Amino acid sequence: MRSIIFGLTALLVAGFMASCASHKEKINRVGKVDANTGIKFDEDTYEPIKFKQNDPAPGLTLVEGGTFMMGGGEKDIEMIMNNRQRQVTVQSFYMDIAEVSNLNWKVFLSTRDDATGGLMKEELMPDTSVWLRDLAFNDPYAETYYQHPAFNMYPVVGVTWHQANEYCKWRTEIVNKRLMKESKDSSKFTKYPSYRLPTEAEWEYAARGLQESEVYSWEGKSLRNAKGKFRANFKRGRGDYAGWRGGDGHHMTDGYMITAPVKEFWPNDFGLFNMSGNVAEWTQDTYRLLSPEDVDDFNPFRRKGKTTIRPDDWLDDVNYKDKESLLFNPDDNAALGSDFFDNVKVYRGGSWNDIAYYLSPGVRRYFPADSSSATIGFRCAMVRVGSPD
């Protein structure tokens, strides 16, 4: 009896979902005539392109937008106070399931030459010197991490914010060229929007994986799963990059001293791998200490430049209208110039070289856009066009 009830319930749910999908298709249907004039669509007037929602572009998965509490999630142990918790909404978007790998980058470079425009091939090579340290023998990583095929599926590092953006532009062009080539009618195909770096609001929303009140990208405060395995690739403490080996050789370790393959460890509820740990990731945003107080509460994002507070925000303090959202303080801004601060970009997520504190999705950090690190990689995002779900 119970199985019959369960089966009927499943059929009802399936029927309801199908009717919802059918309704959404109907309300977005163009038809054969202009509903406002009765004019028939044909080549003599206007022939609309019939839109059918594309499948996610290669490498991406849908992250349905929504409202969440951005910021917070962990104690501000550095006393920076740069991510005050507030409620914001982000639109639906797509996100790379995994970080861009060395192999992905090699494919990118294999298509580049001096005739392609933009940054040239030699300018796009990852900086392998990011592994070198004066008092550590990391030379083998400088020689092999990017070059050796054993690291093909590991995240690319040593890439600047500008190089990451160049990859996004190239990927958009390549994917749409392939889509047009495979389309039955190349004159009527619908292009994918641009691949790009995620905003820091999108990144945090995706990293939380609907676990809004949790400290990390998963449910609960434990850094291990039910079987005792680490949930992420991070540094336990001074000198501990892998964990102590237990009786089975792996029980107390994550198995990786530096980075791990981009699809290692368990994904979060959006199906995204390594949103906490492995490598930290570039976002689009220019860093400002007070961004949480300045940016809009819908699709928050800071491009660059100073922000002057709007009149309705300073009624109680006449001098407040001159407040600028700065990286450090007005004296530094005057001495170094706004271009210096606009060059500083936000990166999110902990890395293999970070303690657990930095695994929290709410932690913000910054780095010069024209510099690179052995701990920073990236993944791409894309706006969702059409139905939000």
Provide the pLDDT for residue 386. Answer: 79
Q: What is the pLDDT along the chain (389 residues), one digit of tens a residue?
A: 555 554 555 555 455 455 555 556 667 777 788 788 788 887 677 777 677 777 899 999 999 999 999 987 666 767 677 788 889 999 999 999 999 999 999 999 988 765 555 667 888 999 999 999 999 999 999 999 999 999 999 999 999 999 999 999 999 999 999 888 887 766 667 889 999 999 999 999 999 988 777 788 888 788 888 777 888 898 988 888 877 665 555 555 677 899 999 999 989 999 999 999 999 999 999 998 878 788 889 999 998 765 554 444 434 444 433 444 444 444 444 455 556 678 899 999 999 999 999 999 989 999 999 999 999 999 999 999 877 77
Indicate whether 64 belongs to any domain. Answer: yes
Provide the pLDDT for residue 6. Answer: 47
Provide the pLDDT for residue 328. Answer: 41
Provide the pLDDT for residue 162. Answer: 94
Indicate whether 119 belongs to any domain. Answer: yes
C-alpha torsion sign, points 293, 294, 296, 300 = negative
Distance CA 63, CA 389 (A): 9
Indicate whether 360 belongs to any domain. Answer: yes
**Domain housing 113:** 58-282+349-383
Indicate whether 27 belongs to any domain. Answer: no
Indicate whether 319 belongs to any domain. Answer: no
Provide the pLDDT for residue 127. Answer: 97
Distance CA 359, CA 349 (A): 5
- Coil/strand/helix, residue 88: strand
Q: How many domains does the chain have?
A: 1
- pTM for this structure? 0.83
Residue 153 sits at φ, ψ, to 5 deg, of: -95, 15
Indicate whether 324 belongs to any domain. Answer: no
pLDDT in tens, 183-209: 776 666 788 999 999 999 999 999 998
Indicate whether 292 belongs to any domain. Answer: no
325-351 burial, b at 16+ Cβ within 10 Å, e below that, comes to: bbbeeeeebeeeeeeebbbbbbbbbbb
Cβ-in-10-Å burial (0-12, 13-18, 19+) of 125 comes to middle
What are the tokens at 216?
A: 């990390």
Indicate whether 245 belongs to any domain. Answer: yes
Provide the pLDDT for residue 64. Answer: 95
CATH number (domain holding residue 207): 3.90.1580.10
Q: How many C-beta neighbours within 10 Å does residue 147 have?
A: 13
CA 269 to chain centre: 15
